Every structure is written in structure tokens, then in C-alpha cells.
Amino acid sequence: MVSLRRLGTISRTYRHLARYQQVIRILFKYGFSDLIDHLHIEKYLETGLRMINRQPRPQVDRLSRPERLRMALEEMGPTFIKLGQLLSTRPDLIPPEYLNELTKLQDKVPPFAYSMLCEIVRDETNRLPEQLFAAFDAEPLAAASISQVHRARLDNGEEVVVKVRRPAIERIIAVDLEILAHLAQLMEQYLEELQGHKPLAVVNEFARSLSREIDFTLELSSIQRFTRQFQGNPDIYVPRVYPELSSERILVMEWIDGIKSSDVKRLGSNDYDLPLIARRGAYLMMEQIFVHGFFHADPHPGNLFILPGNVICFIDFGQMGRLSLGDREDFTNMVQALVGGNERKVTSALLTITTHQKEVDLEALSRDLAQMMDLYLYRPLAELELARILQDILGLVSRHELALKPAMYVMLKALSTVEGVGLMLDPRLELITLAKPFMRRIKTDRLKPGRLAAEFSDISRAYMELAADFPENLQAILTQLRQGRTTLIFEVKGVADLGKILDRMSNRISFSIVLAALIIGSSLVVLSDIPPRWNDIPIIGIIGFLVAGIMGFWLLLSIIRHGRM
């Protein structure tokens, strides 16, 4: 697992200077020198930046800025590719043109050597692949930035796939995350327009997600939970896993011989019922979200296989979403308020599923929501696409400087993806209509006697605990007041920047004093005519003047580079 404890500690980035320089070099290469200048990275990598070519590639000028960002992320490697894929689902953070480009990120890399795979398998199981399996294909089926997949056969004849984590990938990711955290801190410090988006919080969220993705024991437990969720449901098939053969770096699961959901032509030629498959996929996705609150977060066509009998099989459980009961109810409230055309309730419901740093202009927010409802509310359901509606909601949220909770983003992305797959299979699919029974169920479950009794019991217990702790807490407060140990914390913004300016000034003054002393000392040496001499001038004095000249030139360059004389 990747450690998050030191994430964001700037001092650690010095230990990874070579990798940091490589990242900066790629940014220069793709024409992002303006970003590097705005972040003042030269303060931390001053020596390294002077050694880097700042000129972009000649072909870069023909590309748009979003295209250059995508290409830079792909060249930086797996961590940055995964970050780009995360950002492609966050329209509150980046503009639409960047979103569209980042969805094209390619997570394909050359496979690592079979000998390295053998070492990993032996470290994890004390056996080589040939000893662990009856047959093992040395050529990978696929190779990605985190892992690669091989086909194998067990002693009992069962066909399986073996997913193996790339060697040393956790160390690579740890270094990259520390660099990303440093860059995020600089963004919060120097880019005022990004401060409300909390770049460091985004990096922390990304680090947690990536840490879960590279631990295959978590994926294995997700598959086991997913299997229990749909036990007895004939419309879905979940691949079998083999815990006894799996570990943190290896995952062994059943080989699935099905047809990809995107292969519409092959499905049609084999007499599959495409509209039925589309409805089943939508129903299964909404059951995961609204009933279980545990769902496949990446249901793109490559992760959905169709088996005989129009049975749907999900694969690749590395990215899973979780939605609490409270979040599910809040989202349902917002959707029902939207359908009911009540802008006041929609505004209130939207604020429950978002966070904000500044005071919200409720009147402007209600007005924009009313305009959006006018756009969709009176159109036939057949003309409505959930993905388009959600995109407009996300745009509205971003304009009002709100931020959806991360779990909500994952859920909305999953719903939009599965709707896209469904429309590919059946253009008449109405996801909003299919969602109604699940929304109704959440509403009615809230009023069941058992649920009301449980909530009343929880509230009563919480108040009883509060009442029991009140005398002790009050006594502690009074004791602190009496002993003068009560602390008030004042935060004065801008002091950190002022401190850095003063620190830079004091360094320059000290530098100037040393420079002046060196010039005066060298002059006294020259006047005293102390040997040895060169052309009747004391050599020590000449050396002093040369050093003073270099120091003076260095000081002048530093002042010019920072834009102030």
C-alpha cells in the first residue's frame, strides 16, 4: 500500500530530484513553461531548472493546450495517466475541452519481462508459475500501467486469468504522489483561481483511490462482496476468484469467454436480445447504486461481457464506488424535486450533496436551476439523456463554486457510462424511466416502521450519551478557563508569503554585505602589495575581485529572474 502519512511534505521532494526534473522537463517540452513560472518552482529546484531545456518541441505549437496536456500526462507515466483519468470525471475542476481530451488517455504500456513475473510469483507463493498452474501462457493478454494479465489453466482443468502487479510500481507511485502533492501545494499558494478547488485534497483523494487499486486483496474482497450481493440473480454472472492463489500482488480469477458489450454486430448475429441486455445492464447498475450502495465504478464496454442467455458479466473490480444510505436518499430527494419542478426544494437538495467554501448566492442558484428545469421538464422522456442532464448539473455546480461529494462524482460517472453502453445496444433506452422504481423504493423504505424505530433508537442513544458526557465536558471547559489554558487561534492570511519575501530580502542583504566586504578586502590586499603577484598585482586580490564579480552577477540574475530590481 502507498503511504499517505508524508504526502505533501515538501522536503521529501528533494530526495526525488531526478524524477522531479523529468516531470518539469516534460512540462517544458509540451509548452507549459507559463505554469512552471506561476508556481515559482525555481525556489525549490533552482539548480535543476537551469539544466533543463525550456523550449517546447517544434510540433507542439500546432496542438491545442488540452491535447498537449494529455500527451504530457501519457509521457509522465502511470501515476499521471491515472490522475488524468480521474480528472476526466471531474467537470467541477477542469473545463469541458480538457474533459473530452483526457478521456482519450491511453493506459497501455509495454509488458514487463516474463522473468520478472516469475520472480514476483515466487516471492508471493514460493513457487514458479509452471509449478502453480498446469499451464501458463508467458505472453500477456494485456499490459497496463498497474498490472498485466496472463492466461493459465489449473490442475483441475479450469481456465483462469492471472493479474500480476508491475514490479516496483508502488515505489514509482509513491515518488510521483509526493511530487504531485508538492505541485498541489504550490497551486494552492500561487494560483488563486484554484484555491477553492483544494488541489491538495484532490491529490489526497487520488492517492487513496490509487492505493486501493494496486492492492489486489482489496479487489478480491470486492469481487466476493459483489458475488454475495447478486447471489441467486440469474441475470448477472460474477467471475469466480481463487483466494488461495491470490495475494496483494497477484489476483487469480475465472476466465470469461463472452462477447464484449460494445461488439453489437457479433451480438446481433448470435441472436442476442440487445434491448433486453440494455435494460438488464441499467437495472443491475441501479440496483448496485440505490439498493446496495456498492457498485462497479468503471462499467465501460471493455468491462462488460455478455454470456449466453443474455446474462451480463462484470469484470475488473479495481475501481469500486460506495454510496451511503444518506447520500442515496439525498440524491433521490434532488431527482424527485427536479421532476416535481420545485426549484426551492431542488436548491435545498443540491446543497446537501455538495460542499462550498464561500457563501452561496441562493437566489442566483435557484434562478439557474429553474432555467435548467424549464429546459428538460416538459420534454418527452424519450428525448432525455441522463448523461446530458448530469453534465448540465455539474456545469451549474461548478459555476456557483460548489463541489459535489467525491462519492457522488463516481456514481454519476458510472450511471453516465452505463447509459452510453445501453444506448449503443438500444437507442430507445430511457434510463430515467428505469430509475423510477428504485427512487420509489428508497422513498418508501424510509417510512417503514422498522427503519423509523431504528432511527429513533439511534437518536435517543446519541442524546443520552450527550447528556451523560455533558457534566464532564462542562467541568473540563471550566477548568481550562480557570487555569488560563483556553486557546484562541487567529489565522492571518498572507503572512506566509510576507515571511518568504522578508526571508528573500534578508538573504540578499546578507549576500550584498559579504560581496561588499569581499570587494573592500580585495582592494586592501591590492594596495598592500602582498605577494605572490601577477603583472605586479597581488594574485589574492585578483581572485577576490573575480569571486566578487561572479557573486555580483549571480545576485543581479536572481533579482532580474524574480522580476524585481
Q: What is the pLDDT of residue 46?
A: 52
Q: What is the pLDDT of residue 70?
A: 92
Residue reference for cell 477542469: 94
Lowest mean pLDDT among 181-195, 274-288, 350-364, 446-460: 446-460
Does 329 score more than 60 pLDDT? Answer: yes
Helical (H) or strand (E) element with 143: strand 142-143
Better-predicted residue by pLDDT, 372 or 281: 281
DSSP letter assigned to residue 241: B
User: Tell me: the pLDDT tens digits for 484-524?
Assistant: 776 666 555 555 556 666 767 777 777 778 778 777 877 77
Work out the mean pLDDT of the chain and round it to a whole number. 83
Closest CA to 511 of 543, 547, 560, 541: 547
**141 class by beta-carbon count within 10 Å (0-12 exposed, 13-18 middle, 19+ buried):** middle
Query: What distances in angstroms separate CA 107 from CA 76, 144, 226, one per listed residue?
Result: 12, 6, 25
Report residue 430 as a C-alpha cell.
Answer: 430511457
Does 11 score more than 70 pLDDT? Answer: no
Residue 350 Cα to chain centre, angstroms: 23
User: Tell me: the pLDDT tens digits for 432-458?
Assistant: 888 888 888 887 877 777 767 777 777
Residue 176 pLDDT grade (very low, low, confident, very high; cuts 50, 70, 90): very high
Does 40 score more than 90 pLDDT? Answer: no
User: Tell me: the pLDDT tens digits for 47-97?
Assistant: 555 555 556 666 777 889 999 999 999 999 889 998 988 888 777 778 878
**% of the chain with per-residue pLDDT over 70:** 87
> What value does the mean pLDDT take over residues 221-247?
96
Catalytic residue among 298, 316, 327, 368: 298
Report residue 539 as a C-alpha cell.
Answer: 594574485
Residue 340 Cα to chain centre, angstroms: 35
Does 278 score more than 90 pLDDT? Answer: yes
For the CA atoms of 521, 527, 531, 535, the dihedral, rounded to the nearest 10 degrees, stands at: 110
Whether the Cβ atoms of residue 372 and residue 396 lie closer than 8 Å to each other? yes
> What value does the mean pLDDT take over residues 528-554?
76
Residue 485 Cα to chain centre, angstroms: 41
Residue 431 CB contacts under 8 Å (≥ 6 apart), including other chains: 282, 385, 386, 415, 418, 419, 422
Residue 508 CB contacts under 8 Å (≥ 6 apart), including other chains: 555, 558, 559
User: Tell me: the pLDDT tens digits for 109-166?
Assistant: 789 999 999 999 999 999 999 999 999 999 999 888 899 999 999 999 999 999 999 9
Does 211 score more than 70 pLDDT? Answer: yes
DSSP letter assigned to residue 535: T
458 included as an active-site residue: no
Report residue 223 as a C-alpha cell.
Answer: 469481487
For the CA atoms of 197, 201, 204, 208, the dihedral, rounded to the nearest 10 degrees, stands at: -80
Q: What is the pLDDT of residue 442?
A: 82
Q: What is the pLDDT of residue 50?
A: 53
Report which residue type is found at 324: S
Whether the Cβ atoms of residue 210 and residue 319 lie closer than 8 Å to each other? no
Separation CA 272–CA 458 (nearest Å): 49
> What value does the mean pLDDT take over residues 331-337?
85
Residue 99 CB contacts under 8 Å (≥ 6 apart), including other chains: 87, 88, 91
Better-predicted residue by pLDDT, 6 or 187: 187
Residue 8 pLDDT grade (very low, low, confident, very high; cuts 50, 70, 90): very low
Q: What is the pLDDT of residue 51?
A: 52
Whether the Cβ atoms of residue 327 and residue 408 lie closer than 8 Å to each other? yes
What string of DSSP letters covers 469-500? HHHHHHHHHHHHHHHT--------TTHHHHHH
